[in-house]
A and B are shown apart, each in its own frame.
Chain A
Amino acid sequence: MKKNYLFFTGLLTMFFASSCETVREYQKNRLNDAEMALNARRVEKNELNFQSYKEGAAGANGGKTGGGCGCN
């Protein structure tokens, strides 16, 4: 199982590393689009809060992992 996991991770790393292109600043108009941002957007903030209160899992989404009650 561990071997398979390492093999899969290695394969994924090789795939991404070999597919990367050099993109210059003036070519980043699409990457810099607000909806291409690699994080949860501000408008999603309260959705992330209620999900972390109503579900057992939290984290790895740029949101907070502590500091609130969500008691009810």
Chain B
Amino acid sequence: MKKISLTLIGLYLLFLQGYSQVTEHYTNIFQAKPLKLEEINLVTSYYSQNGTHSAVTGGGSGYIGTQYMDGSEKLTDFANMLELKLVGYGETGLKHTILAGLGVDHHTAASQKWISKTGASSPDGNRVYPSINWTVENEEKGTEFGLGTYYSHEYNYSSIALDGHYGFKNKIGGEFSAKVSAYFDQVKLIYPSELIPAVASNGITPYDVNIITTNASRGSGGTIYDLGGSEKASIPTSPRNTFTSSFTYSQVINKSVQTSLLFDIVKQDGWLGLPFHRVVFKDGSEKIENLPHSRLKIPLGARLNYFIGDNLIVRTYYRFYTDDWGLVSHTASIELPYKFTPFFSISPFYRFYTQTATKYFAKRGEHNVSDTYFTSNYSSSAFNSNYFGLGMRTAPPGGIKDTYMSALEIRYGHYSQSTDLNSNVISLHFTFK
């Protein structure tokens, strides 16, 4: 009898334990979890460039008045971006993800000194750009919704952006997402020093030349005047707005292949050139570049990634682009990550790009003074470019050397344009978990 009682008690406790585990498991699924830091990403990059067609000097070397200006495009940029990823679950089981980022860049540009005709302008500058994105995902239904905002500031340019996106998965391995973004930028109207319009009534210039052309006087005072001769608090700015609608459809083809189609519509309006880009005309006269105040861009892209065998991945990308300024371009790239182990890979890559010129581009000294729109910025010219390099990625299961660093990527690339522009870039990406 005693044995039977003990057996029954034992069985009861077993059931109790079993049910209590089920109950606990059930409540765990829907239990709200506060936001928790899941991942930290740090991307640091060094970019170095050389070329001979600076838009600041009118698209090349030559005289502006009696001053000879070299058209050097020598530039370095040291960029760093930190991003924190926080994940949590709400009471209804929805997954919340917050991405908070902060970027800081420092650049030096040889061309920048020629904003002043004497070559006295500061050749360097900084950019700071924080961002935050919030996404809510219903993992059960396969839908997600998100909002984001972004800010960027540098001495002559600032930008604030808002975006929203919605996405859903279908039952055949497809995923659709749509995103709308709006960028509200302000271009500071810094003219080449000899082209600052003078105010005839009192002989002063709209803003003090020194405040914008020498490093020492940046932000340290000086007097700025508007065209009527009244004192102003800062150099005037002009707006540039960009509205983008992006649509992406991705599809799993089989266990080793997936593809996606990308389609953007980009509408820009406002000051689309830069006020310190010179244009030199056939007769030797000079003005700042002048471009239409509206531009419609339509890029259409496709990706196809294929995991071949156990070691090789083929990543391919193609983009067709057209806009209402007459520019048509094609971009094609291939990257071949080869996995020496599941946690270590080497990736050679190659990218080819070609474009036609916009309707408003001509080389230095080739524009007619009667032209309505004109630029000698070589990013609007016809050219081809090649970009190739090598990447390395390691992500061992226990972290790198038993630290919180879970992955490390290094990537180097060399870029050459048929306009004589050459550049090198090296980037490092650290992931901490």
* Majority secondary structure, B binding face: strand
Q: Which parts of B323-355 form the interface with A (CB within 8 Å)? A: 323, 327, 329, 331, 337, 345, 347, 353, 355
Q: Interface residues of A, CB < 8 Å — how many?
A: 45
Q: B181 touching A65 by the CB < 8 A rule?
A: yes
A31 within 8 A of B: yes
Q: Which parts of A1-50 form the interface with B (CB within 8 Å)? A: 16, 19-23, 27-28, 30-31, 33-39, 41-47, 49-50
22 A/B residue pairs, CB under 8 Å, sorted by A:
A20-B173, A20-B251, A21-B254, A22-B173, A28-B252, A30-B307, A34-B393, A35-B313, A35-B345, A36-B313, A43-B43, A55-B385, A56-B329, A58-B266, A58-B297, A59-B264, A65-B297, A66-B268, A67-B152, A67-B185, A69-B154, A72-B54
Q: A56 touching B355 by the CB < 8 A rule?
A: yes
Q: B393 touching A45 by the CB < 8 A rule?
A: no
B317 within 8 A of A: yes
For A50, the chain B residues whose CB sits under 8 A away are 47, 49, 77, 415, 423, 425
A66 to chain B, nearest CB (A): 3
- Size category of the binding interface on chain B: 35 or more
Q: B379 touching A35 by the CB < 8 A rule?
A: no
Query: In whole angstroms, how far apart are the Cα atoms of A48 and B305 in the complex?
Result: 19
Q: B254 touching A20 by the CB < 8 A rule?
A: yes
Smallest Cβ-Cβ distance to B264: which chain A residue: A59
Chain A residues within 8 Å of B, Cβ to Cβ: 16, 19-23, 27-28, 30-31, 33-39, 41-47, 49-51, 53-62, 64-69, 71-72
Determine, out of B6-14, B58-66, B104-112, B201-209, the stretch whose residues face the partner at the interface.
B104-112
A59 to chain B, nearest CB (A): 4
Smallest Cβ-Cβ distance to A36: which chain B residue: B305
Smallest Cβ-Cβ distance to B179: which chain A residue: A62
Q: Mark B56-92, 1 if CB is under 8 A from A, else 0.
A: 1000000000000000010101010101000000000
Q: A21 touching B253 by the CB < 8 A rule?
A: yes
B427 within 8 A of A: yes
